[in-house]
Structure 1
Amino acid sequence: MAAVLVTRPVRLPLEPVLKALAVAACYYVAGRLGLLGRVVVEGVVVTPIWPPTGVAVAALLVYGVRVWPGIALGSFLVIASLTTPQVGTLVTVAGNTAGPLCAMWFLRRVGFRLDISRLRDGLALVLGGLGAMLVSSTAGVGLQVLGGGLESGEFWSVWLAWWVGDAMGVLLVTPLLLVVVGAAGRLRRAGWTEMACLGLTAVILLPVAALSRMSLLFLVFPLLIWAALRFQLAGSMACALFASVLTTFEANAQRGAFQNLSAVEVMVKLQAFNGATALTALLLSAMVAEQRATRRSVQNACNELGEVLEHLAAGETPPGSAASHAADTHADDRTAPPSGPHPDR
């Protein structure tokens, strides 16, 4: 008897290392881009939107836990680009790594789908982003207080800015990255004309809303609704991220709707706008995707029922039904040769 040789695909040991290095590079680039809109709160550098947290959560969801060293390395490189690394830097790096890991653990426990095709997936990402980023913000700001670089009375203002910035990175960047890697819904190939109209409207309307002194930021939300209804996650999150980034730069320059406001008022107004924008785009697009999936399921069930009724009206047994299966089994029994030895004559 010949031996059966079972072959299995051999994975190169360098694959996890290359993925981790790629994640570190993406984390660093996202961090440098995020620092372009940085603000200083009580002497601590924070960003209203911190894209690396979105990169980290998306990488963990797509590639798994094995890429966490890339997150830690990317976080260390970003900090090293700002200041000389010290012993306390390791605490900040640990917090920046633990936050996305907690978000991934929570999302997997609640059955999160990468395509974000259900409302519960959108809600899970919101809860995971808001909850898990408590770890990174508490570790980073707590280190500043313990190290003497920040007074205890200044803890909450810096902590709130840090936490909201990390959470906005998850809510705005993670869904868009899941679309880019193909894990979430894609843009429809049909409707390029409408897509071009949406993009042109966004390019014209969003700067007007952000630059106007009359505080016209509410004009962004009809655009988000249009994008979510017609292009779901890809369109709505792209518009939301563009609006949030543009508004963040205007807030840092204290122009338009943020003119003549104190630093605290600017931060509160900006974070409220970014949060409302992210929640509207994410939850509405998830709701639309869920309703479309339900409609497709109902349509498929109606089509199958119509085929069954057509066969019954023609006096035929519907294919795939229990009666058809029983008839096929009975016919096979009649045509099968008898088992057992034949008696000799």
Structure 2
Amino acid sequence: MTVARQERLRRGAGAALEICVVAAVYYGSAKLGLLQQLVRGQVTPLWPPTGIAVASLLLRGVRVWPGIALGALLVNAALGPSPPAVVAIVVGNTLAPLCSYALLRRAGFRIELSRLRDVLALIFLGATGMLISATIGSGTLALAGVVSADGFWPTWSVWWTGDAMGVLVVTPVLLVLRSARWPKDASPSRWVEGFLLVVATAGVGVLASGSAPLMFLGFPLLIWAAFRFQLAGAAPCALAVSTFAIVAAARGAGPFAGHDLLINMITLQAFNASSALTALLVAAAVSERNQSQQEISRACGYLAEMVDKISEGGYQPTLPFRFGGESTSVERASGEGTVDEPEVRRDAQG
């Protein structure tokens, strides 16, 4: 009885610790996301907490949802116009990742992101769940008088863009970090290539944040990272490129100059979705190709081993064939002794 109670206490303490960690990471990432706030100090074009919430649910299960709610409460308590509005926003911020998680589980999502269907599910189903938080949050601000009726759709667009981008660019990075290992056998040229990729990405970020509309230079880097480093390189590169685009949008620089908020958010959403789609799809396609090559190599190795054994005269494998409508097999002895005719054995039926 005592052992069972201690086991329950241990599990309860572990669950409480997970909830506290999720809440703390949610709160810290929210503070970072608010650095690029665009609407009334509350709405930002990149909301990392949604990506953290979805990744937490995928990695630890639905039991960590109180941590998401607690983190959302801590963030919005100082931002909300009134306690009822805070509660409504917290409910929306909690239900949205839970909905995305349920949709991904329904679609058979695998956290390795090694299949094209997993990438497509994360992009479309993950962003679909964020409609809940955007609608509830924007509607709450409109009812509370924080935004006008004319400002509802621009606010909604920024809210949904931020939540969806959190899922598209933050969640893959966290899923990669889960299985990341230090490359012990990497060659020096591999390290040099990785360093050059980082430098090139930073250079594109500097150019994209300036007055020239050069954000499209990020796409060759995304393809480079996906082909050479698969998801481990594509996910961080997509996050970096999206962050640079968000900074440019917040400053009204590059392709975001001279447009209103709604147009800028549509442009930003299209660019970030395209970059995430390019990076993740190419990485998944390369991973599938590599897996197919490994399976073919294993099959070839097995066949070569079988041929070597047969050529040594140690044995010959059983060859199944059909005789008289029933399954039969032929075994030929080799090595010691000889057999004039092949021995035919009829498999037992029933």
| TM-score when normalising by structure 1 | 0.84
Aligned to 1:264: 262
Q: CA deviation at 1:130?
A: 1.7
The alpha-carbon deviation at position 164 of structure 1 amounts to 1.7
Question: Per the alignment, do residues 88 and 319 of structure 1 end up closer, same or farther by CA in structure 2, a change over 3 Å counting?
Answer: farther
**Structure 2 partner of 1:335:** none
Structure 1 equivalent of residue 238 of structure 2: 240
Corresponding residue number in structure 2 for 1:317: 315
Deviates more, 1:99-108 or 1:54-63: 99-108
Structure 2 CA distance for partners of 1:146 and 1:259, relative to 1, 3 Å: closer
Counterpart in the other structure of 1:210 = 209
Consecutive unaligned residues in structure 2, runs of 5 or more: 321-328, 334-350
Give secondary structure in 2 for the equivalent of 1:303.
helix
Letter paired with 2:153: W
Please list, as runs of the form range in 1=range in 2, the aligned pairs for 1:87-102 lying within 5 A after superposition. Answer: 87-102=84-99
Fraction of identical pairs, as percent = 45
CA separation of 1:84/1:261 partners in 2, compared to 1, >3 Å: closer, same or farther? closer
The answer on whether the counterparts of 1:27 and 1:56 sit within 8 Å (CA) in structure 2 is: yes
Structure 1 pair 104/319, CA: closer, same or farther in 2 (3 Å)? farther
Structure 1 pair 312–136 and aligned structure 2 pair: CA distance change class (3 A): same
Greater CA drift, 306-315 or 168-177: 306-315
Matched, 1:163 2:140: no
Give the deviation of 1:279 after TM superposition.
1.4
The 10-residue stretch of structure 1 (195-204 or 218-227) with the greater mean CA deviation from structure 2: 195-204
Q: How far apart, in 2, do the equivalents of 1:250 and 1:7 lie?
A: 57
The structural deviation recorded for 1:209 is 3.2
Deviations 1:168-204 (A, max 9, x none): 100100010111122xx65755221211111122122
Q: Does 1:129 align with 2:141?
A: no
SS at match of 2:42: strand
- Aligned equivalent of 1:173, options 170, 175, 180: 170
Which stretch of the first structure deviates more once superposed, 287-296 or 169-178?
287-296
Tell me, yes or no, if the aligned pair for 2:115 and 2:288 is still in contact at 8 Å.
yes
What amino acid is aligned across from residue 169 of structure 2 in structure 1? L
C-alpha distance in 2, partners of 1:174/1:321? Answer: 50
2:316 and 2:332 in contact (8 A); partners too: no
| Count of residue correspondences | 317
1:19-45: CA deviations, max 9, x gaps? Answer: 0000000000010000001101xx573
**In structure 1, which of residues 85, 97, 110 is the aligned counterpart of residue 107 of structure 2?**
110
Output the CA distance in 2 between the equivalents of 1:209 and 1:144: 32
CA distance in 2, matches of 1:166, 1:300: 43
Give, in whole Å, the separation in 2 of the partners of 1:187 and 1:295: 23
* Structure 1: 4+ residue segments shifted above 6 A: 6-9, 318-327
Q: How does 1:280-295 map to 2 (within 5 A)?
A: 280-295=278-293
Where 2:84 maps in the other structure, the secondary structure is coil
Query: What residue number does 1:340 align with?
Result: none
CA displacement, residues 250-277 of structure 1 (integer Å, 9 cap, x when unaligned): 2212233433333333323222222211
Q: Does 1:50 align with 2:52?
A: no
Check conservation: 2:316, 2:331, Cα contact below 8 A: no
d(CA) in 2 for partners of 1:207, 1:296: 40
Find the aligned partners of 2:259 and 2:317 in 1 and give their Cα distance: 71
